Amino acid sequence: MAKGNLSQRMWGGRFEGETDTFVAKFGASVDVDQRMAMEDIQGSIAHASMLKTCGILTGAESTEIINGLKDIREDIRAGRFVWRTELEDVHMNIEHALIQRIGLVGGKLHTARSRNDQVATDLRLWLRSATRHIMGELVALRRVLVDLAEKHLQVIMPGYTHLQVAQPVRFSHHLMAYCAMLERDSERFGQTLGRLNRSPLGAGALAGTGFPIDPGQTARQLGFDEVAANSMDAVSDRDFALEFLSCCSIVMVHLSRLCEELILWSGQEFGFVTLPDSHTTGSSIMPQKKNADMCELIRGKTGRVCGALTGLLITMKGLPLAYNKDMQEDKEGVFDAADTVRDSLKIMRTQLPGITVHAGRMRAAASQAFSNATDLADYLANRGMPFRDAHEVVGHLVMMCLREGKVLEELSLIRLQEASPLIGADVYTVLRLDAVVDARDSLGGTSELQVQAAIERARRSLSDHSD
Ligand code: ARG
């Protein structure tokens, strides 16, 4: 009978003294990594079948191990499994339970394997399904945005630079900008998935194994595209987790901008939209309040997701090859970021269909702020005036309007012609908001044709996803 505490029984042969209890607690990761239990068992089942094919385990041993693992899986699913901190991590908890259940033969599962290739495999498997889930949420949110854009195609709002009114845009065009960002986010996750989907199993602790294993078989059984080519790289890099966190951070940064706009737009000063009651909260003291809590939270949670990326980058920085215990710190941030991104996307896709759009307020904001000034300058440039001069002429007209509390189209033709004789009566048509947005018919512009084309393009790209 091996001496020492429980976890020492898994590796304690060369130890005389016992691990300090607080040290064991500090070193344990099972509270966090038990989330990979299903992946751990999936990986172990594939490993045990491969050991049989390669003649390292007998058929009977492999079957006994696999059945034992399946029973443990049932216990975990049913919430019957007792996780023990003394057993350090998910891997040793499951292996220990296996040995308890089927006896010493359970100890053969770990032949030709190390916890180092095991944990790298588990995390890749976990991230593969988390990535697919997030990709599904991204598609669902993109659909919601496209639907909304289609519904509000005729709504015109101010477009901003420096948060100052710049030029009028279709509300749809603004929404489709987010759709484009999220489409790239989907692409990014897809590319990450390709690099993620390689099997580290067979790398052992760091240098491979002397047993005649077939890593191709485990890779195939686990749905990996290929086997990692270098054993040291396979167990020591976490770039796939960094890529995942980077994709997550970019999604959150995108969402935080949309959230910030919804917060602004739903405030009294803008009054462009009303957010649904289902996604807003009141104040315990101010009865009139309706706060955009969900948007604020997503904006806030962007910090912790970007923090998870920064945290893991710094954990990995300067680590010598191959495995180091530092790397056990990789999971908490990854799980948290995955949950946060998935839930944030879901909140946005359920919130957006419930917004009320105040088209009149948007239009008024666009028409009161000289958003058509560029169009008057373009008009003059089209009639031969160098654009710089046209800019100057219109600038003076804007100043005149500001003094008189008017907008450009309220100036009489005579006064406009005093500024430049190139101006004709047709200028009033050019300055209408609808004409202004439709005039921008360049690719990716805000004209009805362009926005409709963008909506159709987005729909085509979404039709590839069945979800
Ligand atoms: N719990 C460990 C981790 O997450 C598993 C690998 C442990 N390997 C080792 N050589 N101590 O990193």
Q: Which of 84, 91, 116 to mutate to test the pocket of ligand 1 (most atoms within 8 A of CB)?
A: 116
Q: Which of 115, 117, 238, 316 to mutate to test the pocket of ligand 1 (most atoms within 8 A of CB)?
A: 115
Nearest one of 211, 219, 146 to 182, comparing CA atoms:
146
Give the three-class secondary structure for 291: strand
Confidence of residue 1 (pLDDT cuts 50, 70, 90): very low
Average pLDDT over residues 178-194: 98
CA distance linking residue 89 with residue 115, whole number of Å? 10
Those residues whose C-beta lies under 8 Å from the C-beta of residue 243, and which sit 6 or more positions away, are: 192, 195, 196
Quick check: 367 and 165 in contact, CB under 8 A?
no
CA distance linking residue 428 with residue 374, whole number of Å? 14
Percent of the chain residues past pLDDT 90, beyond the cut: 91
Nearest one of 336, 231, 226, 351 to 296, comparing CA atoms:
351
Residues annotated as catalytic are 162, 283
Structure confidence at residue 364 (pLDDT): 95
Is any atom of ligand 1 closer than 6 Å to the C-beta of 334? no
Structure confidence at residue 4 (pLDDT): 62
- pLDDT tops 50 at residue 426: yes
Is any atom of ligand 1 closer than 6 Å to the C-beta of 93? no
pLDDT tens-place string over residues 382-402: 999 999 999 999 999 999 999
Ligand 1 center to 5 CA (angstroms): 18
Those residues whose C-beta lies under 8 Å from the C-beta of residue 257, and which sit 6 or more positions away, are: 178
Tokens representing 125 are 């498997």
Is any atom of ligand 1 closer than 6 Å to the C-beta of 87? no
**Of 4-8, 113-117, 401-405, which range is least confident?**
4-8
Is any atom of ligand 1 closer than 6 Å to the C-beta of 167? no
Is any atom of ligand 1 closer than 6 Å to the C-beta of 327? yes
Percent of the chain residues past pLDDT 70, beyond the cut: 99
State the CB neighbour count (10 A cutoff) for residue 413: 12
Is any atom of ligand 1 closer than 6 Å to the C-beta of 192? no
Tokens representing 431 are 């300055």
Average pLDDT across the chain, whole number: 95
Atom of ligand 1 at shortest distance to CA of 327? 12
pLDDT tens-place string over residues 303-348: 999 999 999 999 999 999 999 999 999 999 999 999 999 999 999 9
Average pLDDT over residues 434-443: 93
- pLDDT tops 70 at residue 78: yes
CA distance linking residue 201 with residue 419, whole number of Å? 77
- pLDDT tops 50 at residue 70: yes
pLDDT tens-place string over residues 110-121: 999 999 999 999
Tokens representing 10 are 């898994």
- pLDDT tops 70 at residue 361: yes
Q: pTM for this one?
A: 0.94
Atom of ligand 1 at shortest distance to CA of 323? 10
The dihedral of CA 301, 302, 308, 310: what is its sign?
negative
- pLDDT tops 60 at residue 2: no
Q: What residues pair up with 159 in beta bridges, in sequence order?
A: 167
Cα atoms in the Cβ-side hemisphere of radius 13 Å centred on 104:
1
Q: Which of 23, 30, 89 to mutate to test the pocket of ligand 1 (most atoms within 8 A of CB)?
A: 89
Confidence of residue 467 (pLDDT cuts 50, 70, 90): low
In angstroms, how far is CA 146 from the centroid of its own chain? 19
Structure confidence at residue 12 (pLDDT): 79
Buried b (16+ CB within 10 A) or exposed e, 65-80: bbebbeebbeebeeee
- pLDDT tops 90 at residue 457: yes
Beta strands, E only, 147-231: 156-161, 164-170, 198-199, 226-227
- pLDDT tops 50 at residue 189: yes
Name the residue at shortest CA distance from atom 2 of ligand 1. Answer: 328
Confidence of residue 466 (pLDDT cuts 50, 70, 90): low
